[in-house]
Amino acid sequence: MSDTKKAFLKAAQEKSWDLTHRKTLQFNIGRYNQAVAKGKERYDNLNAAKNYVAALKRQVISRWDEYLLQFEKKAAANGIIILWAKDSNEAITHLKTIFEEKHAKLVMKSKSMVSEEISFNEEVENMGIEVLETDLGEFIVQTAGEKPYHILTPAMHKSKTDVAKLFNEKFNIPLDSTPEEMTAFVREKLRIDFQKSDVGISGANFLIADIGGVALTENEGNGLMATAFPKTHIAITGIEKLIPSFSDMATVWTLLSQHGTGQQITAYNSVFTGSKKDDETDGPEEMYVILLDNGRTNLYAKEEQYEALSCIRCGACLNACPIYRNVGGYTYDAVYSGPIGSVISPHYKGMEDYNHLSFACSTCGRCSEVCPVKIPLHELLLVNRRDAVEGKMTNTCETQALKLATKALKSRKQMDALGGNVKNFGAKIVGPYVWGKKRDMPVFAKKSYSQQQSSNSKLRTFNS
C-alpha cells in the first residue's frame, strides 16, 4: 500500500469521528445549500444554461490547440507577455526571473488554486520575498499556517470563533470580534500592504480566446487591488481555462456564481486585456500570463477521463459529496479535493500514488447531478478505478479478497457453506480494517437467508 493511501486512510478514520469538524462543515455547507437552492429559482431553465456551458467547454477541449493559440496571439497583440510552463519547476523559474528583474520584496496574491499547485508561497518565500494572501479565506489559512481546505471556500473548516481566536493570537484583536469587525481589520491592513507591493498575482477563472483576455471573478475586490496597485501583474493559470468568446461570459459567469455561492453574479467581475495604456491613470505597467500544463495534457490523453478538463472549479461537487463532508479537505492531501480532485489528481500527480482517491466514493452520483458543466464525475471515478486495477496499482490482498468474494457471492451453495458463527468470527478479525475501528460490523444471522426460507416453507407445508 502506498504511503499516500496509508496517510489517507488514517486521516479519514480520524476526521470522520471528529464531531466538531463535522458540525462546522455541516453548518457551512448547510448555508451554501440554502443560498444555492434560492439562486436556482432565478433560472427559468437552469438545465438549458448547463447544457450551453457544458457544450462550450467540450468544444474548447475538442479544439484545444486552436483556442490556446488564438488566446496567445490575441493576448500578445494586447501587450501581454505569455509564458508557457510544462510543470511547477518551469513556472517557478519564470516567476523567479520576473521577481529578480523587478527587485520584488512584497507580492500580493489573490485567490488562485493553480498557485497552490506550484507551492507558490513556499517557493517565493524561499527567494526571500514576502507573500501576502489577499482573499479573506486565504488570508485566514495563511495566518493559521495552513493550506486551503476547499477550492472555493479555503477556510470552510473554521467557525467564526476559530477565526476570532486566531486573529486574537496573531494580531491581538478582541476575542469577541464580529465577522464584520474581523473583515474590516483585514481590509485595513491589506490596503497599506497593497500600496507597498511590487508584484500582484492572480489566477484566471477564464481565458477568453477571441479577445485575449483574462477573466477574474471575486467577491471582495481584493483581486482588483492585487492587479491594479502593483506595477507588475502576473496571472498564473491552467491551460484548460479557455472560453471561446467574450459573448459567452454572461452565461458562464452567472452559472459559475450560481453553483459556487448561489449568487446571481459575484460582486466583482473583471476582464484584463493588458497593462495600463498611455492614456490611462491606473493599472500595472506590465502584465504576464503563465500558462501551466502540470499534468493537464496527461489527462487530455485519457480517452474517457479527459472530459474532466471542462471543470470550471465551482466547488459544488465537493459540497454535495458524502465522503468530502465526512473526511474533509485536508485528508485528500491534494490541491484539488472532493470528487473533481479524486478524478484529476491521479493524472496530475501520478496514478500510482493517488489512485486510492478514486476508491473513496460511494458512487451515489450526487456530484455528477450538481455539476454545472455535466461532468459524469462518479463514472470517471469508476474508470480511474478500472485503470488502477488493470495497471496492477491496487492492493494485491484486496484484489484477491474481492475476487474470492465475487466467486462466493455468485453461488448460494458457497455462501451457505460457512455458518453465521464462522462469518461473525471472520468479520470480527477483518472488521476493524475494512469497516473502521469505531463502527460495529453488522451481525450475520446464524442461518443464511435461503436456509431460513427453506425452514419457513417446511413449516408452511407442515401447517397446511
Kindly list the residues in this chain that would bind ligand SF4 in the complex (CB under 6 A).
259, 311-317, 340, 370-373, 375, 377
- Closer residue to ligand SF4, CB minimum distance, 72 or 240: 240
**Shortest distance, position 308 Cβ to ligand SF4, whole Å:** 7
Strands of the sheet with 232-238, listed across from one edge: 81-85, 286-292, 232-238, 199-202, 106-109, 130-133
CB crowding 186-202: b at 16 or more within 10 Å, else e: beeebeeebeebbbbbb
Which amino acid, one-letter code, is at 67? Answer: Y
Collapsing DSSP states into helix, strand and coil, what is residue 269? strand
Q: How many CA atoms lie within 13 A of 371 on its CB side?
A: 25
DSSP 44: S
Distances (CA, A) of 257 to 14, 222, 394: 33, 17, 38
Looking at the Cβ atoms of 186 and 311, the one nearer to ligand SF4 is 311
We find the least distance from the C-beta atom of residue 254 to ligand SF4, in angstroms, to be 14
Pick between residue 289 and residue 371 the one whose CB is nearest to ligand SF4: 371
| Close Cβ partners of 292 (under 8 Å, ≥ 6 residues apart) | 85, 87, 88, 91, 114, 117, 118, 236, 237, 238, 239
Residue number with CB closer to ligand SF4 (209 or 340): 340
- Tell me how far apart the alpha carbons of residues 292 and 100 are, in angstroms, rounded to a whole number: 21
CB of 24 or CB of 342, closer to ligand SF4: 342
Paired with 291 in beta bridges are 84, 237
- Closest to ligand SF4 by CB, 36 vs 83, is 36
Cross-strand partners of 108 = 132, 200
Q: Any idea how long the chain is?
A: 464
Q: Between vectors from CA 458 to CA 456 and to CA 462, what angle results, nearest 5°?
A: 115
Q: List the beta bridge partners of residue 109.
A: 133, 201
Closer by beta carbon to ligand SF4, 232 or else 257: 257
How far is Cα 327 from Cα 197, in angstroms, rounded to an integer? 38
Residue with smaller CB distance to ligand SF4, 91 or 309:
309
Q: Which sign does the torsion angle of CA 168, 172, 174, 179 carry?
A: negative
